[in-house]
Amino acid sequence: MDAATVFSVVARIAVQLAHVIWFPINKLINLVVILLLPFYNVITFVLLPFIHLGQSIIRVLSIPFSVKWLERIETLYVYFGTASLIGCITGTIIFVIFRFLSSTLKIDAPIVPKEPEQGRTAAEYRAARRVKREEPIDHSPSAAPVVLKKVAGPRRRGLLSQAIIEEEDSDF
């Protein structure tokens, strides 16, 4: 026997074996499809308005791509698409390099002050104000009374210099 005969015998056995295995599986699949077909028809009938709405939305959104003027700007579209793709890839590479260098050189490490400045806390400030408020006020006669002096200057004339007279209730 030559190789071609052996190959044809092996191929024929493989085809018959596949047919024996595939035939029951095919019948089982056909039976499942026949049993599930009524459910599929009911579900598609119920979902028909949503399917129609989705198809309409897709048709409206695809109008710009079916217009002839798009062919005229195809070169610009390809140019800007390629430029944005190259820009995104370059930006990503620069970002990765920067992150690697900043973590290696510890540039992003938070700056922690060595010694916190010693100042008054809010509680200490409130306590000092409370003590200052509670100090008794000295009403001794030795304190000279404050006298305000009027500065001599031209008197204003007109409405600003007149007093506002309020009207009283009348019986008119």
Q: For residue 65, name the pLDDT band (cuts at 50, 70, 90).
A: confident
Instruction: Look over the chain and give the mean of its residue pLDDT values, rounded to a whole number.
Output: 81
The Cα–Cα gap between 5 and 13 comes to: 12
- Spell out the residues 6+ positions from residue 4 whose beta carbon is closer than 8 angstroms to its own: none
Q: Is the pLDDT of residue 17 over 60?
A: yes
What would the pLDDT profile of 27-39 be if each residue is shown by its tens digit?
899 999 999 999 9
Where would I find the H helices in the chain?
3-46, 48-61, 63-66, 69-72, 74-105, 122-134
- Spell out the residues 6+ positions from residue 70 whose beta carbon is closer than 8 angstroms to its own: 64, 77
> What pLDDT, on a 0 to 100 scale, did the predictor assign at position 98?
93
Where would I find the H helices in 47-61?
48-61
When pLDDT is averaged across residues 40-58 and rounded to a whole number, the result is 93
The Cα–Cα gap between 132 and 126 comes to: 10
> What pLDDT, on a 0 to 100 scale, did the predictor assign at position 37?
92
161, 155 Cβ separation under 8 angstroms: yes
